[in-house]
Amino acid sequence: MIRFDNVTKIFGRDTAALEEINLEVEDGEFIFLVGQSGSGKSTMVRLILKEYEPTAGAIHVRGTRLSAIPRRKIPRHRRSIGCVFQDFKLLPNKTAAENVAYAMEVTGQKRRQIRTKVPQILELVGLTEKMGKMPDQLSGGEQQRVSIARAFVSQPPILIADEPTGNLDPDTSVGIMQLLHRINRIGTTVVVATHDKEMVDVMRKRVVALDNGRIVRDRVKGAYLDEV
């Protein structure tokens, strides 16, 4: 589903964000990328989205080598990956429902389809009553639910979350993680970059630990530290 082959990313002249990363994420897997700030988690996420090009090595997503995708086709690539960010990245001038609808509009789906699908997905994330609210009228947890709904509404095969609970309190974070888990159980491959130790320990999923741009550990049912 997602494969990194000897990927190195160097910023500027000699700041190596990632060094010789090899990683394979299977179809339908749930995987945590953990590590401190600056360890290279976000760089990996951005490489998968083709926001950056790797300095060396190759990345394949669903069998396609990313460097072979022309700029013109990047939007289509991104539509196959639902994306959730730490700062939610909602459109401030649109209501919760409109934000979710926008992700369907960019793919040119019919209005009728959008009108039936958006309430369904908002119900799934538990926001039926807040559909008409603007982002600044929602709590952080609610905004993150909207952004998950937006990421998932087109049912992409992959969902990537970059520090999804970074701005949320622990109780709210549990809800968000459960939501991601539910999405994974439907068959979506989920990649979560985080340094939220408690979440990782509770979920008992595959954990890939990064340190200074290198993979230092890869456990199938891991915990954040995994000293045991």
Q: Point out which residues bind another protein (CB under 8 A).
A: 49, 51, 75-76, 78-79, 83, 85, 89-93, 102-103, 105-108, 150
Q: Looking at beta carbons only, is 90 or 192 nearer to another protein?
A: 90
Q: Looking at beta carbons only, is 22 or 107 nearer to another protein?
A: 107
Give Cα separations from 113 to 103, 105, 116 (angstroms): 13, 10, 5
Minimum CB distance to another protein, residue 76 (Å): 7
Q: Looking at beta carbons only, is 67 or 107 nearer to another protein?
A: 107
The residues, any chain, with a CB within 8 Å of residue 224's CB and separated by 6 or more, are 34, 197, 200, 201, 207, 209
- Positive or negative: CA dihedral 53, 159, 5, 212: positive
Minimum CB distance to another protein, residue 108 (Å): 4
* Cα angle value 22/167/164 (rounded, 5°): 35
Minimum CB distance to another protein, residue 50 (Å): 10
Q: Looking at beta carbons only, is 16 or 49 nearer to another protein?
A: 49
- Positive or negative: CA dihedral 99, 185, 159, 192: positive
Minimum CB distance to another protein, residue 78 (Å): 4
